[in-house]
């Protein structure tokens, strides 16, 4: 298959040569385990059933999962093995199946999800850098979309992710996600059953991006749209030498962003506490749940 799944349009045969996402045609997974640090409506008390896919089509300089995204650490698994990974997660009682960084596997994943028929909600947890036409392949197969909108302007998108066209694609993809699943609906225990949750991690020295992203959300989606404003930024990798993203976000920066977002009138916002900016939020990528 010549791969043009995502906006990178590598045009490579992934079984012969890797594109920007650094993986072939087989699923590659680095970890599958309950995760307790997602939004409360996703983690609940039993955890969210995260499946971390290896490789990434975006490749941000500050990626906290860089071992698996940039390094593509993980184990190749067949579609049947992926279903067994899902089974094991469900046996642990998780509230949902949370597919993390799945963009570069969408066509293969659509086939697996159609066959699997998950009894719990399926979450598509992505960077937002994807084609709306690719997201269309998941219609009826994903219950909860959890995309980032990382940048509004081209300059930071190019500088930190090498993708000047990031917002052009992410905005169209998010509108398609909303068309499919609408706003978040919770069950009687406050756990999400369906809907769109938009994440934005506020970057130090870049709070204008947060404000512009949520202004766009306010103008293009219902005011009930669930938004998650993350303050956990910690400099990793190349970002350690790239001011202003070589430091953590200050409390003042986050409080300015929070006040501006609240003033926009959003009705469903998740804000993180100061303790969020620690490495305890970063899972250990050790093939847990993958080596069955
Ligand atoms: S999915 Fe990977 S190989 Fe395909 S276009 Fe995107 S980055 Fe390139």
- What would the mean pLDDT of 62-88 be, rounded to a whole number? 91
Is the CB of 6 inside a 6 Å radius of any atom of ligand 1?
yes
Task: Name, in order, each residue with C-beta under 8 angstroms of 190's C-beta and a sequence gap of 6 or more.
Answer: 40, 41, 44
- What would the mean pLDDT of 228-250 be, rounded to a whole number? 93
Q: Name the pLDDT band for 275 (thresholds 50, 70, 90).
A: low
Q: Name the pLDDT band for 273 (thresholds 50, 70, 90).
A: confident
Best mutation site among 2, 7, 10, 23 for ligand 1, i.e. most ligand atoms within 8 A of its Cβ?
Answer: 10
Is the CB of 55 inside a 6 Å radius of any atom of ligand 1?
no
Interatomic CA distance for residues 95 and 36, integer angstroms: 11
CB contact burial 173-207 (16+ within 10 A = b; e otherwise):
bbebbbebbebbeeeeeebbbbbbbbbbbbbbebb
CATH T-level assignment (fold) for domain 25-281: TIM Barrel (3.20.20)
Best mutation site among 1, 11, 12 for ligand 1, i.e. most ligand atoms within 8 A of its Cβ?
Answer: 12
Q: Which candidate, 110, 104, 151, 97, places its Cα nearest to that of 130?
A: 104
Is the CB of 250 inside a 6 Å radius of any atom of ligand 1?
no
- What would the mean pLDDT of 182-196 be, rounded to a whole number? 98
pLDDT at 281: 65
pTM higher than 0.85 for the full model? yes
Cα dihedral 170, 176, 179, 182 sign? negative
Task: For ligand 1, atom 4, name the residue with the nearest CA.
Answer: 3
Give the pLDDT confidence of 200-231 residue by residue, as tens digits: 999 999 999 999 999 999 999 999 999 999 99
Q: Name the pLDDT band for 152 (thresholds 50, 70, 90).
A: very high
Q: Name the pLDDT band for 280 (thresholds 50, 70, 90).
A: low
Domain residue ranges of the chain, discontinuous segments joined by +: 25-281
Tokens linked to 261: 């977002």
Contact between residue 6 and residue 129 where contact means Cβ atoms under 8 Å apart: yes
Task: Name, in order, each residue with C-beta under 8 angstroms of 17's C-beta and a sequence gap of 6 or more.
Answer: none
Is the CB of 10 inside a 6 Å radius of any atom of ligand 1?
yes
pLDDT at 206: 97
Is the CB of 32 inside a 6 Å radius of any atom of ligand 1?
no
Is the CB of 227 inside a 6 Å radius of any atom of ligand 1?
no
Confidence check: pLDDT of 288 > 60: yes
Contact between residue 10 and residue 2 where contact means Cβ atoms under 8 Å apart: no
Interatomic CA distance for residues 245 and 127, integer angstroms: 18
Is the CB of 28 inside a 6 Å radius of any atom of ligand 1?
no
């Amino acid at each position: 298959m010549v791969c043009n799944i995502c906006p990178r349009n590598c045009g490579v045969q992934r079984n012969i040569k890797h594109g920007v996402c650094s993986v072939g045609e087989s699923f590659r997974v680095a970890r599958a385990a309950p995760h307790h640090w997602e939004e409360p409506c996703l983690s609940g008390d039993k955890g969210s059933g995260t499946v971390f896919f290896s490789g990434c089509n975006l490749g941000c300089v500050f990626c906290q999962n860089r071992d698996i995204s940039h390094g593509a650490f993980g184990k190749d698994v067949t579609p049947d093995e992926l279903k067994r990974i899902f089974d094991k997660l469900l046996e642990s009682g998780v509230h949902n199946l949370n597919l993390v960084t799945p963009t570069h596997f969408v066509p293969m994943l659509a086939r697996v999800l159609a066959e699997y028929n998950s009894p719990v909600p399926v979450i598509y947890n992505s960077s937002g850098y994807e084609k709306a036409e690719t997201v269309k392949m998941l219609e009826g197969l994903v219950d909860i979309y959890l995309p980032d909108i990382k940048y509004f302007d081209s300059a930071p998108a190019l500088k930190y992710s090498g993708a000047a066209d990031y917002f052009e694609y992410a905005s169209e993809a998010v509108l398609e996600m909303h068309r499919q699943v609408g706003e978040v609906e919770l069950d009687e225990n406050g756990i999400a059953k369906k809907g769109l949750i938009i994440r934005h991690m506020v970057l130090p020295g870049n709070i204008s991006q947060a404000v512009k992203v949520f202004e766009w959300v306010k103008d293009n989606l219902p005011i009930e749209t669930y938004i998650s404003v993350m303050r956990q930024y910690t400099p990793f990798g190349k970002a350690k030498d790239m001011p202003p993203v070589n430091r953590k976000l200050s409390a003042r920066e986050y409080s300015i962003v929070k006040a501006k977002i609240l003033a926009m009138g959003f009705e469903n916002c998740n804000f993180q506490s100061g303790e969020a900016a620690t490495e305890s939020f970063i899972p250990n990528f050790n093939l847990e749940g993958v080596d069955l």
